[in-house]
Structure 1
Amino acid sequence: MKRALGQVGRIVIGTLLGATSACIFMALQKGGARASDSATTPAQREIYTQSVKQHYNLRFGQDKPFLPSNATTDTGQFISPQAFPAAKYCSHCHQEAHAEWRESAHANSFRAPWYIKNTALLTAEKGIEYTRHCEGCHNPIALLSGALTKGSPINRKFDEDGVTCTVCHSIQKVDTRGTGSYVMAQPAVLVDEKDQPIYDDVSDKEILSHLDRHSKAVMKDFYRSSEFCSACHKAALPKQLNDYKWQRAIFLYDEWQLSSFAKQSPLPFYIKDGVSTCQTCHMTPESLTTSDSGAKEGRLASHRWLGANTVLPKYYNYSTQMEKTVAFLKAGVFNVDIFGLERNGEKIIAPLGSEDFTVSPGDLLTTSIVIQNKGIAHSHVPEQRDMYESWIEFEAKDAAGHILMHSGAIQPNGDLDPRAHSFTNRLVNTKGEINDLHQVWNNRVVAYNNTIASGRSQLVRYQFKVPTEAKGPITVTARVNYRRFDQHFMDFGMGKHYEMPVVAMAERTRTFNLGSNPIAVDPQDNKEWMRWNNFGIAMLDAQQYAESVHAFEHVAQLRPDYADAFTNIAIANFQWERYEASRTSLNKALALSPHNSRALYYLALVERNQGQVDNAIADLREVITKFPRSRDAHRELGFSLYQQHKYDEARVEYETLQSIDPDDLAAHYILSIVYRRLGMKEKASYEAAMFADQKDDPTASTYALEFLRKHNEVASETVPWHTHTDFAPEPAHSVGPSTQ
């Protein structure tokens, strides 16, 4: 910017800096400056930036004012908060979008008390400058204006707007590193005849007279892409934050990109009809309730960004947001299948309803529940999984209402039964203790991760005894419950006990007669082949390879024309290290579906394992022609080429992989070697350093073991194949079928 201003401009700025900056900050402290009064021209922006630097803590480097966030501005300078029009200004023409936004998590991204309490912990422990890591996404104006430094005089009335309209609509570029990996320009709601941004105040009349120029100022094609969302809905914990090493925090974009929803990978177990982006699900067009100039045919892409935040609408009394959020959570996310039953340790009866069986008083029954994540393009629970809470509630009772087993109850103090099967993980610190208040800057290891990936299934087993005096029939119910936070974190965030809504996202009930149970098809059940398929997927992820093969063989018998049945058998055998059996099944899959990319990918892995690297390379190249953004295919092709010392070709594949996922660990490692062998020493050093920072710390597992040693009630959840066997009396507080 100084180069653009020239020598004369620098002299003028130097002369005016002291007095002008004082005036600017007086205006900021009062909070009354108009956009045209403070730092809108290039010269004024330079003055503002130099003013901020007079008191700004540049802890992470003189030229890195925004770290540990990856966010930056178009010039690298600060942007005055007065340059960001308040959301109310946009509401003049966009009433509907404003009303929806006001109730969204974006609008309340900073001001919620539990969030403020959490970031206050970080400020108290390390300093406010470390909160730049959080605020790059939660409060971008605070970050980019330079407010996140001790003793800042900047008036922060913008906190109330969180991620406001002109935050998203001023972003010029993103990449998929996450943690705020965007470039933001100074907001402009109109461009001139030469497509240059107009920073002065613009009247509604002028905007309405030049809608094409307004659109050029505030809309970019990539705003409609999942990559746009990845800038914040993917995040890492860098060394600058934790003084330890790089750690992945959230990766919703990666999960989407690998899922069947994106249609960019051949590997999902099921195929969707069309592509769904983040916007497809979270910005579904809705009919107008007010008016909005951006609507088309009476409908507007929702600016509620519906997700899973049920606490915000309760706390702020947003009844419409709550109603729509609950409906969103219940909209076909899960399939719950009470799949199988074992009596007294005998062979499993499955799938239930397809064969007759008997149940007698005194029997020891083990039910197998298959939970399928079919409706979301990322894992459940998403985002930071340590403090979100979703779990299976299971109940068995007889006809007299006697509880034979209950797992997943809410205890009288509001805590979830620690033995419940939860879709969560446990983040452990250097003391071998849980980071119970979301102190992610102290993370050292994930003790276990029990979340359920998109398109995958998970098996949960419950065992109970039928009393000799039980009254039939026996009813078993399994439901997936969700509440935003665990009670401990919520009470900390609110400074008192605060009861949260609990949503039953999906549930199923089956009855077992005492005596004969004839064949009975339940219309709620999936087709039999799909029930076996989901069970096979669950067994595969539980590392029960023999059971997985057996399940997929049932699928092949029921659907002999279904190529993926044989590919699935091959995957289980491959992971079981039965390579020849895997090849045999893949050949059957390819006979049914020639050039099937999914089968070819796994065939390539078998071929390479058996020394047929040329064949593997040919098959992977064919996969990439159909799926050019398959990160797995590029990774495996790159490694196969590396094995053959074709370093330049391997380099191309791994660089392509990094264009999809800049943090791929294998890419860092192999490129550090490949670049060195190609004489590209500087790049080799960079990749080696990235690998050293991002690879797992082998000593960190000791923290997890220390935690699990102290918590037997949690340790069993780390075992892929286990059974919940607690026999419990009727609980004090059952969640019930659909509590809100």
Structure 2
Amino acid sequence: MKLARIAAFLFAAMTVAGLAGSKVKSHPVLAQATSSYSDKVNKTYTYPFGKDKISAPGNAVSVDNQFIPPGAFISAEYCGHCHAEAYKQWRQSLHSNSFRTPFYRKSVNLLINTKGIAYARHCDSCHNPAGLLAGALDPAANMDRSFEDDGVTCTTCHSVQKLQPLTGNGSYVMGIPATIVDAQGKPIPGEVPYAEILANTDRHSEAVMKDFYRSAKFCAACHKANFPASLNEYKWIRAFTTYDEWQTSKFSKQNPLVFYTADYTPCQGCHMKRTQISVPDYGAKNGMLASHRWLAGNTAVPFYYGDDEQLQKTEAFLRSGNYLNVDIFAIKEASGPSLIAPLGTVPFQLPANETIQVYIVVQNKNIGHSLVPEVRDLYEAWVQFSVSDASGSILYRSGYLRPDGTLDPGAHSFTNRPVNLHGDFVDNHQVWGIHSVAYDNTIQPGRSALVRYEFRIPAAVKGPLTITARVNYRHLRQSYLNNVFGPDHPDYPVVEMASKTRTLNIGENSPQTATPQDNPEWMRWNNLGIALLDEEQYADSIHAFEQVLRLRPDYDDGMINVALTYIQWEKYADARAPLEHALALHPSNARALYYLAIVERREDHPEAEIADLQQVVAQFPEARDARRELGIAYYQAHQPREAVKQFEALQSIDPDDLTAHYNLAVLYRRLGMNSKASEQAALYATKRIDPGAPTYSLDYLRKHPEISTESVPWHVHREMQP
């Protein structure tokens, strides 16, 4: 197999060092060559965002802050000689296509043409590390950039030496790529003869593997992002927080406040599941290899490149039924107060010539992050809802695709709408123009959304009625595809992630046998309660959680959910009894202790509040909410040094936490630590929301009444569609 291209001087350095010989040696000559290359780039490289900040507005750095010759990034083709399966999977993956796709190039070229190539360092810190750290993203750069078509290669990930604080935007430290270390453990860069690697596999592993590669924090280096003021010339704005969503989900085992529990599962547990190999790979164990396809939600890239295997596996991943649950939970007469619920468990009468509402509950059951994560403005996930009579005639529908491929504007879509200074939707993914978000309807992990549909049953209807609700997913949004290709392009795949159908008779309906896909009845009520809680329908939420306790009287989380609803309703006294009941069943229940501490604060019992939160932190030291509230409790109890410890611990979990910035600014000042206080005050001022931002959102919603209801937590989809 042909070896990758490598810079001529770099190859010469390797030869002088004896690397091409039969014995593996260290070679200081290569380090000198790299330093020489870095010095050369530095002579013309521009630093508009701060001295020696190679990647700013991104966060990527290299060891010793040196530029790395592009040829030093050993080719994936070279790695594929021994790791054929990993190479085959990688070649079709999003990582290998991170830079070259027309979707990414459209957005990043707009940025370059609008603001200059230096600004693209923000994006390419993750999409193109080799080009970035080679110094290619500079007006003065003059190099063959064809290597960038390989995107994030094997040695991009496997050369990261350590992680920076979890701020994203490429928060990693890159070393000079090496596939082996010498007898003293020093990395030997370059393409080592395969025979040497096979004779020293332990040294190979030491060079290319770090324990943190298996952690979610490794993924967080790029799967968390913000838009700094240096990028948008406005202010710091959160972009996406996929890692934070995972860290607070049930899968991290670091947060006691989740609604459901699960086994510990890092990002790799879903996106790098071990699969059977089809071609030889020295990294396989018992014929199984951690997947280097990183299956997730991107169907557009494999569709565009004709990578049918990747596309089929991605669609199967999305259709697996593991991640979402759709429940046609209830119906009610539009003018009536009572729910007929849960459907399938109770008898009822369904009249004709009546306007009814249908409650659809969509549960984010087993996704470790939100539906949808990351660049939400580009993705489309929505509910397709339809009601038909016995002849198949559609009585009502919502969430259909129009003839031009765009989504019905009245659809309930799990997306957001970023807007600019003028209240216009930020199309083309021009992220540097984002000033606010008009609404965000994504479903956080472990939570549920309630979608209401209202329609009239005709007097002469031919029963029975068939009601179907689906969650569909498309990557990418049709208008964005049009921006990239123009209106003439193939239809990109739409994948059904979950669905539910129920048949309702006009007149009498009897209970039905549950299907294997149905959640148990108590969970159906629980998911409704969670959704109503997020819609701020507190009385209805409590009623739903009370049904959970009717079915499971000893379910302590059911009691805690009742209490949580009272707390959000600001009825703190009512929350105490269910919390104490839950703690009587399980005295160390951290979730109950956390919410009891909130009640103790409102009832002015600081010692009890601190004691409860101390127990929570002892059990869950990475619980950001508990650290935050314990810091506040210590602050209010005039224990500044203890408060500082908690807020500093909180910043180690999330360096962007606003509460930590604000309180540390105050506390450091009181403790005479003026320099630290000024730093935290500046960070707070940078990261706090612009008070004018909601105005931009309101401007957008006024211009788009057809979707303005999506910004309201509680709303009904009423429009009759042809």
TM-score (norm 1): 0.93
CA separation of 1:34/1:309 partners in 2, compared to 1, >3 Å: closer, same or farther?
farther
Alpha-carbon distance in 2 for matches of 1:682, 1:110: 41
**Aligned pairs (5 A) from 1:90-169:** 90-169=79-158
Any idea what the Cα deviations from partners look like across 1:37-90, whole Å, max 9, x if unmatched?
A: 369723222221121122222111222121011000011010000111111000
Answer whether contact 1:617 1:640 (CA < 8 A) is retained: yes
1:187 aligns with 2:177: yes
What is the match of residue 33 of structure 1?
A: 8
What is the match of residue 622 of structure 1?
A: 615
1:438 to 415, 422, 429: 429
What is the match of residue 662 of structure 2?
A: 669
What is the match of residue 709 of structure 2?
A: 716
What is the match of residue 50 of structure 1?
A: 39
Any idea what the Cα deviations from partners look like across 1:621-680, whole Å, max 9, x if unmatched?
A: 011111111111111000000011111000101111111111111000000011111111
What is the match of residue 500 of structure 2?
A: 508
Q: Give the AA of the match of 1:520.
A: Q
Alpha-carbon distance in 2 for matches of 1:200, 1:145: 16
Alpha-carbon distance in 1 for matches of 2:325, 2:12: 57
Answer whether contact 2:129 2:156 (CA < 8 A) is retained: yes
2:675 to 669, 677, 682: 682
Any idea what the Cα deviations from partners look like across 1:318-361, whole Å, max 9, x if unmatched?
A: 11111111111122111100000012422111111222111122
Aligned residues: 700
What is the match of residue 390 of structure 2?
A: 399
1:553 aligns with 2:546: yes
**Aligned pairs (5 A) from 1:356-395:** 356-395=347-386
- Match of 2:427, SS state, is coil
Answer whether contact 1:34 1:82 (CA < 8 A) is retained: no
Instruction: Name which of structure 1's ranges 340-349 and 527-536 shifts more when overlaid on structure 2.
Output: 340-349
Alpha-carbon distance in 1 for matches of 2:272, 2:167: 23
TM-superposed deviation, 1:201: 3.7
Alpha-carbon distance in 1 for matches of 2:286, 2:512: 48
Seq. identity, %: 52
Alpha-carbon distance in 1 for matches of 2:556, 2:648: 32
2:640 to 640, 647, 661: 647
What is the match of residue 463 of structure 1?
A: 454
Q: Give the AA of the match of 2:311.
A: M
1:573 to 566, 578, 585: 566
- Match of 2:473, SS state, is strand
2:258 to 255, 264, 268: 268
What is the match of residue 26 of structure 2?
A: none
Answer whether contact 1:115 1:493 (CA < 8 A) is retained: no
2:467 to 466, 476, 493: 476
1:203 aligns with 2:193: yes
Q: Give the AA of the match of 2:73.
A: F
What is the match of residue 542 of structure 1?
A: 535
**Aligned pairs (5 A) from 1:696-707:** 696-707=689-700
- Match of 2:443, SS state, is coil
What is the match of residue 327 of structure 1?
A: 316
Alpha-carbon distance in 1 for matches of 2:374, 2:174: 24
Answer whether contact 1:532 1:552 (CA < 8 A) is retained: yes
1:307 aligns with 2:283: no
Alpha-carbon distance in 2 for matches of 1:433, 1:546: 36
Q: Give the AA of the match of 2:8.
A: A
1:86 to 75, 84, 88: 75
Q: Give the AA of the match of 1:660.
A: I
What is the match of residue 48 of structure 2?
A: 59
- Match of 1:651, SS state, is helix
TM-superposed deviation, 1:31: 7.0
Alpha-carbon distance in 1 for matches of 2:502, 2:418: 36
Answer whether contact 1:570 1:581 (CA < 8 A) is retained: yes
What is the match of residue 633 of structure 1?
A: 626
**Aligned pairs (5 A) from 1:191-340:** 191-272=181-262, 274-331=263-320, 332-340=322-330
Answer whether contact 2:7 2:69 (CA < 8 A) is retained: no
Q: Give the AA of the match of 1:377.
A: G
Unaligned 5+ runs, structure 1: 1-27, 730-740
Q: Give the AA of the match of 2:348.
A: F
TM-score (norm 2): 0.95
1:488 to 467, 479, 482: 479
Answer whether contact 2:10 2:33 (CA < 8 A) is retained: no
Alpha-carbon distance in 2 for matches of 1:292, 1:424: 40
TM-superposed deviation, 1:230: 0.3
What is the match of residue 350 of structure 1?
A: 341
TM-superposed deviation, 1:34: 7.0
CA RMSD of aligned residues (A): 1.3
1:451 to 442, 449, 452: 442
Instruction: Name which of structure 1's ranges 45-54 and 161-170 shifts more when overlaid on structure 2.
Output: 45-54
What is the match of residue 728 of structure 1?
A: 721
Alpha-carbon distance in 1 for matches of 2:237, 2:190: 42
Alpha-carbon distance in 1 for matches of 2:364, 2:264: 17
Alpha-carbon distance in 2 for matches of 1:155, 1:200: 19
Segments of 4+ moved more than 6 angstroms = none
2:331 to 332, 338, 341: 341
Alpha-carbon distance in 2 for matches of 1:283, 1:356: 46
Answer whether contact 1:529 1:559 (CA < 8 A) is retained: yes
Alpha-carbon distance in 1 for matches of 2:555, 2:191: 62
Instruction: Name which of structure 1's ranges 37-46 and 421-430 shifts more when overlaid on structure 2.
Output: 37-46
Q: Give the AA of the match of 2:104.
A: Y
Answer whether contact 2:272 2:294 (CA < 8 A) is retained: yes
TM-superposed deviation, 1:102: 0.4
Answer whether contact 2:271 2:291 (CA < 8 A) is retained: yes
Alpha-carbon distance in 2 for matches of 1:215, 1:34: 27
CA separation of 1:288/1:575 partners in 2, compared to 1, >3 Å: closer, same or farther?
same
Alpha-carbon distance in 2 for matches of 1:482, 1:653: 41
Q: Give the AA of the match of 1:512.
A: L
TM-superposed deviation, 1:200: 4.3
Any idea what the Cα deviations from partners look like across 1:575-627, whole Å, max 9, x if unmatched?
A: 11111110111111111222211000000001011111110100000111111
Q: Give the AA of the match of 1:161.
A: D
Alpha-carbon distance in 2 for matches of 1:495, 1:145: 34
Answer whether contact 2:9 2:33 (CA < 8 A) is retained: no
Unaligned 5+ runs, structure 2: 15-28
What is the match of residue 21 of structure 2?
A: none
1:522 aligns with 2:514: yes
- Match of 1:214, SS state, is helix
Alpha-carbon distance in 2 for matches of 1:594, 1:200: 58
Q: Give the AA of the match of 1:664.
A: D
CA separation of 1:616/1:325 partners in 2, compared to 1, >3 Å: closer, same or farther?
same
Alpha-carbon distance in 2 for matches of 1:300, 1:519: 47
Q: Give the AA of the match of 1:384.
A: V
Instruction: Name which of structure 1's ranges 492-501 and 546-555 shifts more when overlaid on structure 2.
Output: 492-501
